[in-house]
Amino acid sequence: MSNNYPTAHINASPKDFAKTVLMPGDPKRSAFIAENFLENAVLVNDVRGVRGYTGFYKGKRVSCMASGMGMPSIGIYSYELYNFFGVENIIRVGSAGAFQKNMNLGDLVFGMGASTDSNYIRSLGLPGDYAPICDYSLLRRACDRADEKGYRYHAGQIVSSDVFYNSDPTVNDRWARAGILAVEMEAAALYANAAMAGKRALAIMTVSDQLVTGETMSAEDRQSSLCDMIELALDIAQ
């Protein structure tokens, strides 16, 4: 592990972080996790308003820190956590838009692999098209826990996109035909960084938008569904 800390993005030391970090995109959601799920939570980073906390969940030491929006942002934070701060597991917790008709608002999505339209993977300099995937042990724990809780979930391929407002109206249909479950904006970079560092990652998303039917979650439903997702992620923290 490098001693290249603190960094320009994380003003902390390795002892400040647990081995597992939950990463929502929004700094306010990181604060929400700390305030509502963790005991004795301590703020360990607030550089650029990207709040990171460490506390205890059912006796386990766990951290949570925002990733920001998009692959360049989570790419920086996850790289530094893995390589400079001794973090072993990062679990992304966020929302996604569903591409398949059988997926309902509030369903959980476990990203087994993350396709992407980004150049992030090419920056690794590998001699081909690298396919970033999650850690199987985290995925299995997530599926088992979701079965125990009776949650509806879908495990499969997702796509991490750099583009939120796409000018091509056919793009969603083309990803859907390839079997892609849902779209989000971070997992491919997270999975790639985990693989290159020899660490573990899993992206857990809640379906907040059904892109086939046009349905979208109410603010109340979004909050309760996100709580289920956060609790499941904390349950599988190692």
pLDDT band at 60 (very low <50, low <70, confident <90, very high): very high
> How far is Cα 238 from Cα 135, in angstroms, rounded to an integer?
12
pLDDT for 1 equals: 54
Name the average pLDDT for the chain: 95
Query: Which tokens sit at 224?
Result: 């309760």
Residues 179-232: tens digit of each pLDDT: 999 999 999 999 999 999 999 999 999 999 999 999 999 877 777 778 999 999
pLDDT of the residue at 173: 96
d(CA 65, CA 59): 19
User: With left for phi above 0 and alpha for psi between -120 and 50, is residue 128 left, alpha or beta?
Assistant: left
* Single-letter amino acid, residue 117: D
Mean predicted confidence (pLDDT) in 72-80 = 97
Report, as residue numbers or ranges, the catalytic residues: 209
Instruction: Provide the whole-model pTM.
Output: 0.95
* pLDDT of amino acid 2: 59
Question: Which amino acid, residue 98?
Answer: A
Q: Which helix (H) or strand (E) holds 29?
A: helix 27-37
Identify the pLDDT of residue 112: 98
